[in-house]
Amino acid sequence: MIDPEEQPSSFIHHNSTQEPARRDIGHFLFGHPLQTADEGHQTIRKRVGLAVFASDALSSTAYATQEILVILAGAGTMAFGYVFPISIVIIGLLAIVVISYEQIIHAYPDGGGAYIVAYDNLGRYPALIAAAALLIDYILTVSVSVSSGVAQIVSAYPQFFEYRVPLAIIFVAFITLINLRGVKEAGAAFAIPSYFFIVIMLLLIGVGLFRMFSGSLGVVLDPPHVENLGKSTLTNFALAFLLLHAFSSGTAALTGVEAISNGITAFNEPRSRNAGITLIWMAVILGVLFIGISFLARAVQAVPSEAETVISQLARTIFAGPGWLYLFVIVGTTVILILAANTAFAGFPRLSAMLAHDGFMPRQLTYRGSRLVYSYGIVSLGAIASVLIFIFQASVTRLIPLYAIGVFLSFTLAQSGMARRWWRSGRLKSADNPSHAAHGLQYDKGWFIKMLSNGFGAVCTAIVMGIFAVTKFHDGAWVVLILTPVLIGVFVFIQRHYTSLATGLSLDHYGEPPPYLSRHRVLVPLSSVHQGTLAALRYARILSDDVTAVHVSIEPEDTERARKHWEKWGRGTRLVIVDSPYRLFLEPLLIYIEEILATRQPNEIITIVVPHFVATHRIHNLLHMQTAELLRRELLSTPGVVITEVPYQIL
């Protein structure tokens, strides 16, 4: 403890790492502040990093194949054969995206999400587009992952089918609570379920392939009913559209691939290299699982259904019935889906904090460690995701059209940004003014080939986004296409406010500071004289020598009593009695204050000291006039008036 009195210097550095002794229940429920933001001090190895960052990407294998089949069903069961070729194309796309992100990881070793890369290389508006897309995407990650998780449970326990919406909302509420308490994004909590999922899925695929080639693999017994099964004859155009549509749905497999690029700082040094290797490992596992599931889904003739997921059909066919292994698959899939939802709860506030830091979101969000403000973001995320689950009845198929478009928009912007960066890097050699260079930009020998690779990635993802927007427009993509500009509008609105405020409050051209205040009048409104009033008077007397107590006279007896009490306890302080012919309280007080204000001198300030009863039970607050609150509402914009509550309580 540093006593400021004893410090001769006018700058005192106060160091304290102990925690405040908070008394409220929130502390018990939500836990002590955690050191989550302090990522630099505690880095992780590749194998942990894989578990931490891969859940989002890997979990999408739980629904991507099924969503391809859902669309193909529109052309009849024969069309299900296209699932494998479509999956191959998606794996190709995955490779392109991963190569692009590999380059981002090395160019932005401090973490480079689409927002940062776009801001750095393309400018403000592309960055805001990426940010809006990502925020929407985080919300949908929660909705889609939890809905898919519930779909897995419901597949194993069909009796819960009709409760899937409340079930999903309970899951979201649970994750929200967990995050309000604070979770570390590291350690066994993530590693065990992630590796369990990888192992059980590889086992599923391995056994499936073995049984298939040994000829013992049959087809799904008693498959669920397929809704929306279409005719098998389509025009060439309709078929092409259908295939593109199915492809769009399948691209959901790529969601979450960008996660590692946001969290590079969490890795051990050399972090870019470690993160890059982890990214490639993750992509390989993702590719194997996705292609394996798609291949086997076709082999066992799994069908898309809201009642039973493709994963469930696969597992019970390959493992010959709903035994332990089947249950492991279901549990593993559900848990990794919940973990994936959980990563959005980390990403959403992190991105919000970046946006807030740049002035595009409320500045309070930058204090992302502070529970008081951090929690708003978490609760909003949980609430919006729940609303979406309710609106779309926890159906992954109905949520998917809103999902991947934002992901691909951010992919495209990130890679365009990178392409522009390499182009600039190439020009650096000849140009002599590196002042306009983006963050850490230096000449790179391989700039041309890197530019081509990122550029090709950008073109591919842009095409996918276009396909997505066209084929899924009707299904719900339009919502995202409207929401994105609205969000950008909000960002710009907020930034304008901060900019104009900073200009208005700036001291740069402020000249001399105003002179000291020379006169301080203090008013103490009171309705009766009691210990609380005396506490306010005691405080008022230390503020100024010019104290006036003001009593609004409503009942003559009350006024008489107050006057008598004041004579004894008022210590000679002036008491003004204001008549209230209409039994009003606030209005006569305001008139009196305004009359005082009218004769105010330039360097005078008026403080209104209001006794404020602090109730032991919150309900009691309803029984007391919130005089200070009412005065504040009336006088907040009046210069020269300060309203102070002096709390008193019965001890």
Region 471-500 residues binding a second copy, contact defined as CB under 8 A: 494, 497-498, 500
Q: Which of 6, 19, 222, 432 binds a second copy (CB under 8 A)?
A: 19
577 binds a second copy (CB under 8 A): yes
216 binds a second copy (CB under 8 A): no
Q: How far is the CB of 553 from a second copy (least distance, A)?
A: 8
Q: Which residue has the tokens 């020379």?
A: 518
219 binds a second copy (CB under 8 A): no
Dig out the tokens for 110 from the structure.
């401090």
Site for a second copy in 605-624 (CB under 8 A): 605, 607, 613-614, 620, 622-624
For 258-283, letters b (16+ CB in 10 Å) and e give bbbbbbbebbeeebbebbbbbbebbb
Q: How many residues bind a second copy (CB under 8 A)?
A: 117
Pick the stretch among 59-67, 163-171, 173-181, 539-547 that binds a second copy (CB under 8 A). 539-547
For 404-426, letters b (16+ CB in 10 Å) and e give bbbbbbbbbbbbbbbbbbbbbbb
The residue (of 395 and 573) whose beta carbon lies closer to a second copy is 573
Handedness of CA 576, 580, 586, 590 (dihedral sign): negative
11 binds a second copy (CB under 8 A): yes
* d(C-alpha 231, C-alpha 229), whole Å: 7
582 binds a second copy (CB under 8 A): yes
Which residues face 338 on adjacent strands? none
Pick the stretch among 29-37, 211-219, 334-342, 381-389 that binds a second copy (CB under 8 A). 29-37
Which amino acid, residue 215?
A: G
Q: Which of 35, 233, 265, 601 binds a second copy (CB under 8 A)?
A: 35
Q: CA triplet 445, 451, 456: central angle to 5 degrees?
A: 150
For 312-334, letters b (16+ CB in 10 Å) and e give bbbbbbbbeeeeebbebbbbbbb
List C-alpha distances in Å: 247 to 69, 90, 542.
10, 7, 75
The residue (of 45 and 633) whose beta carbon lies closer to a second copy is 633
* d(C-alpha 271, C-alpha 391), whole Å: 42
182 binds a second copy (CB under 8 A): no
**Inter-residue contact 203 to 49 (CB < 8 Å):** no
List C-alpha distances in Å: 21 to 26, 33, 175.
12, 12, 27
Q: Which of 206, 485, 489, 647 binds a second copy (CB under 8 A)?
A: 647
584 binds a second copy (CB under 8 A): yes
The residue (of 21 and 188) whose beta carbon lies closer to a second copy is 21
Q: Which of 209, 229, 459, 586 binds a second copy (CB under 8 A)?
A: 586
Q: Which residue has the tokens 């559209």?
A: 241
* DSSP three-state, residue 583: coil
Binding mask 55-94 for a second copy (x = CB under 8 A): ----------------------------------------
25 binds a second copy (CB under 8 A): no
* Cβ within 8 Å of residue 481, ≥6 positions away: 405, 469, 473
Site for a second copy in 366-395 (CB under 8 A): 366-370, 372-373
Pick the stretch among 57-65, 69-77, 247-255, 537-545 that binds a second copy (CB under 8 A). 537-545
Q: Which of 45, 427, 445, 538 binds a second copy (CB under 8 A)?
A: 538
Binding mask 311-350 for a second copy (x = CB under 8 A): ----------------------------------------
520 φ, ψ (degrees, to nearest 5): -135, 110
Q: How far is the CB of 401 from a second copy (least distance, A)?
A: 31
* DSSP three-state, residue 184: coil
Q: Which of 10, 216, 236, 435 binds a second copy (CB under 8 A)?
A: 10
